[in-house]
Structure 1
Amino acid sequence: MERLPKVVHNRISNRILSLENNPRPKGAKKLSARDEYRLRVGNYRILYTVSDSESAVTIIAVGHRREVYR
């Protein structure tokens, strides 16, 4: 994330921090083939998992929409 423009970096950081209070916000989509969720932040995507038993959110990947699913 260090290579991202500062504005994009801040938007992504704020979205990640907001997952602490609401791990499945409006706009989050559960990926059909995996137990992961996707959040859109402009042209970037945050892929993450939610463990309700541990009350934990694990960030899997953050990247441009072209590359993050590979």
Structure 2
Amino acid sequence: MAQAGQGGFLALGRSEKGFEVRIDPDAQKELRRLPPPMRERVVKAIDALKDNPFGGKDIRKLRGELTGLYRLRVGNYRVVYRIVEEQRLVIVEAVGTRGEVC
């Protein structure tokens, strides 16, 4: 169940042996702007990061200025996030189209 957390982050919880997922307040606003069917797809994809945030056919590790971030592709939308391994934490930084986020 999603709940507001520290600093306005939305916490999606943690899978049994996986990662906790938190969504930055700015990314929450971006999510709310999506059309409802796409928002549902994006939230489902974000929720799946609890089990494996490192890889998959739609996940890429970013380079250059964006080193340390990952990009998840959901249709025409992108989810940019970082992983804090020591805390088993995924923080969603941005949600938007390719031109908006990366």
What 5-or-longer segments of structure 1 have no aligned partner? none
Determine the structure 1 residue equivalent to 2:36: 6
What 5-or-longer segments of structure 2 have no aligned partner? 1-30
The TM-score with structure 1 as length reference comes to: 0.91
Q: 1:32 aligns with which of 59, 63, 85?
A: 63
Paired letter, 1:50: I
* Structure with the greater alpha carbon radius of gyration: 2
Deviation at 1:64, TM superposition (A): 1.0
The CA RMSD measured in Å over matched residues stands at: 1.0
Determine the structure 2 residue equivalent to 1:50: 83
Deviation at 1:25, TM superposition (A): 3.2
Paired letter, 1:36: L
- Distance, in Å, in 2 between the alignment partners of 1:7 and 1:25 is 24
Higher relative contact order, structure no. (Cα contacts within 8 Å, ≥ 6 residues apart)? 2
The TM-score with structure 2 as length reference comes to: 0.64
Q: Deviations over 1:11-58 (max 9, x none)?
A: 000011111111123121000121000010111000001111110001
Deviation at 1:4, TM superposition (A): 1.0
